[in-house]
């Protein structure tokens, strides 16, 4: 009964958006559910970046490859999957890591701001002249060509990061990151 209540707290039908679901057996080691109004079968991964990925027994090995900074092809060889599957998993696992962020920091926190040149790769209309990879900014110091990335970490090891925008970090941008 407790499992059913906790599953209903976060699991909902993507069609009707209702949380009126019931447990409906297991499949491949995952709990299955059924939406009562629509009768649609669901599983515990629906709506997560890992939904519809196969070869669950290889996920931990692939996660180790990501932690060891393997290239996509090298990770595919190591885990024995196709390179296209490795590419797809790479993006799905990184999307999953983005969801594992603390809501707020506690106690004493330290912040660091990092400025990197703005990349407009893939943009159809550049707001500046094109430059070569590895090129320097037109002006020295902090300018509107650079994007500010703010990283904050508390003493318990929880980390938050924000892209605050181009140019110098201001009080208004800092308060916008708090929300």
Domain borders along the chain are 1-47, 50-100, 103-120+141-179
What does pTM read for this prediction?
0.57
Does the pLDDT at position 50 exceed 80? no
Q: Domain 50-100 belongs to what topology?
A: Arc Repressor Mutant, subunit A (1.10.10)
Residue 118: pLDDT band (50, 70, 90) is: confident
HEC profile of 71-107: CHHHHHHHHCCCHHHHHHHHHHHHHHHHCCCCCCCCC
Count Cβ atoms below 10 Å from residue 75 Cβ, excluding itself.
23
For the chain, the maximum distance between any two Cα atoms, rounded to a whole number of angstroms, is: 64
153 pLDDT above the threshold of 90: yes
Give residue 10's pLDDT.
56
């Amino acid at each position: 009964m407790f499992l059913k209540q906790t599953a209903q707290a976060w699991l909902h039908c993507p069609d009707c958006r209702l949380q009126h679901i019931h447990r409906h057996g297991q499949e491949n080691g995952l709990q299955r559910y059924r939406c009562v109004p629509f009768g649609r079968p669901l599983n515990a991964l629906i709506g997560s970046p890992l939904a519809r990925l196969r070869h669950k027994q290889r996920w931990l090995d692939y996660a180790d490859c990501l932690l060891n900074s393997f290239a996509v092809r090298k990770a595919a060889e190591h885990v024995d999957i196709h390179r296209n599957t490795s590419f797809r998993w790479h993006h799905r696992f990184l999307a999953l890591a983005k969801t594992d962020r603390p809501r707020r920091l506690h106690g004493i926190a330290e912040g660091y701001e990092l400025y990197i040149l703005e990349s407009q790769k893939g943009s159809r209309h550049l707001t500046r002249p094109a430059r070569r990879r590895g090129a320097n900014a037109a002006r020295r110091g902090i300018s509107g060509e650079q994007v500010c990335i703010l990283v904050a970490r508390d003493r318990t090891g929880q980390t938050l990061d924000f892209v605050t925008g181009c140019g110098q970090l201001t009080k208004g941008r800092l308060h916008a990151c708090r929300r």
